[in-house]
Amino acid sequence: MIDPGISISLPPELHPFVTAALDDLEIQNHLTGIAEVDAFVSAAAQLAATRGIPLPTDILKQVLRPDPLGIGRWAAAPITLDRWPPAQWLPARADWLAAEPTFDWMWFGDEPLRAPFFEDSSRYASFMPFNWLMRVRTELDGLIAATGTEDTLPPTGFIFHTSRCGSTLLARMLMAADHHTVLSEPEPLDAVVQWANASGASRERQMAALRAVVAALGRRRSPQTRRYFIKLDSWHILSMPLFRAAFPDVPWVFLYRDPVEILVSHREVPGLQAVPGSLLNHLAGIVDGEHMTPDAYLARVLAAYHRAGLVELELGGGLAINYKHLRQAAFDAIPRHFGFALDPDEAAGFAAAAKINAKVPSLLFADDTAAKQDAAGDDLRHLITDDMQADIRRLSGFASAA
């Protein structure tokens, strides 16, 4: 009999096996290592047979469909739970178009996440047939309700940034330690922040939702994990009051860079921040964004980031780091601010990671500061107002812990 807290939209012939697999670690550990569909079906049939569970392999094979782009988040989920799935699952993707976000979980195992961005790790996990079959969804109420009942890591530190300023490098250096959990711009967290900004929900519910998704992403998937860091999306500095309310004691850093260099980077490879009329209009206080050029719009967004960062730095708990000082700060000021000191093994791992291109790990790091300055014409430099330059100078005053 199916637990009343489980809803399964898969063919009913698969319900007994799917229900068993949710709680059977042997099934999970065996099937999650299989990448080929026929081998997966054969192994599932053998595991089912040893447990006396009927499993029609023809029906099982029919439902195994990859979803690397996560399109399934906007369709009915195979499995819906009113609680979190077992410990090796993480919320991988979210549907933020509904009145409240819903979360699709996938099995990640106990290995540290090594990809530059959480979306990369989610996409890798989506290639496993096990996750095609066992994609689990929870509603926001279910996500919140289980908070505090699971083994999760409290966040060690948050990384806010202005984009293209070394935040991925810092995340990659932190990832070099096996006992660190580092989440880089996880979509489920962004879905909660966007919902909080637009929903009109009470502050208490917003905080509960943010705490819940941070806890769920920080599940202790390995007993050796000791520290937990989240690199946020750049626009999350505009929602810093929510983070401060939900996590008043968690230290944070704000990374920034010469805005001319950021403008050049986005001109070469535009990000969402440079799309006029995007979701940032309201948050950044831009009322005419859709009529701006991408460069002018991004300059306004960066100005809003700087102002928001300064407001929060004045309140304490933060550390401002200029890109040109980041590599050194990653070895001393930042760990100290986050409450630890690097041991020799951690320092060696950090040093090795610092030599690699953070976003393209197959390449070595090459400082592009001079090239970006050379590429910036007067049209970009004129977008940097006197007020922005003054804010950059003020940020340099927060280069030590408040």
Fill in the DSSP letter of residue 232: P
pLDDT of the chain along its 402 residues, tens only?
446 689 999 999 999 999 999 989 999 999 999 999 999 999 999 999 999 999 999 999 999 988 888 888 888 888 999 999 998 999 999 987 778 999 999 999 999 999 999 999 999 999 999 999 999 999 999 999 999 888 999 999 999 999 999 999 999 999 999 999 999 999 999 999 999 999 899 999 999 999 999 999 999 999 999 999 999 999 999 999 999 999 999 999 999 999 999 999 999 999 988 888 777 888 888 888 888 999 999 999 999 999 999 999 999 999 999 999 999 999 999 999 999 999 999 999 999 999 999 999 999 999 999 999 999 999 999 999 999 999 999 999 998 754
Which H or E run contains 145?
A: helix 140-145
Contact between 231 and 183 (Cβ < 8 Å) = yes
Contact between 90 and 157 (Cβ < 8 Å) = no
Strand order from edge to edge, sheet including 252-256: 180-184, 227-231, 157-161, 252-256, 318-322
Say whether pTM exceeds 0.75: yes
List the domain boundaries for the chain: 71-398
Contact between 104 and 94 (Cβ < 8 Å) = yes
User: CA 99 → CA 94, 136, 198, 199, distances in Å?
Assistant: 12, 19, 10, 8
Instruction: Look at residues 96, 237, 108 and name the one whose alpha carbon lies nearest to residue 167.
Output: 237
Q: Bridge partners of 319?
A: 253
Which segments of 200-277 does DSSP mark as H helices, in order?
Answer: 203-217, 240-246, 259-268
Contact between 123 and 116 (Cβ < 8 Å) = no
Length of the chain: 402
Token pair for residue 355? 């030599």
Candidates 3.40.50.1580, 3.90.950.20, 3.40.50.300, 3.30.300.130; correct CATH number of 71-398? 3.40.50.300
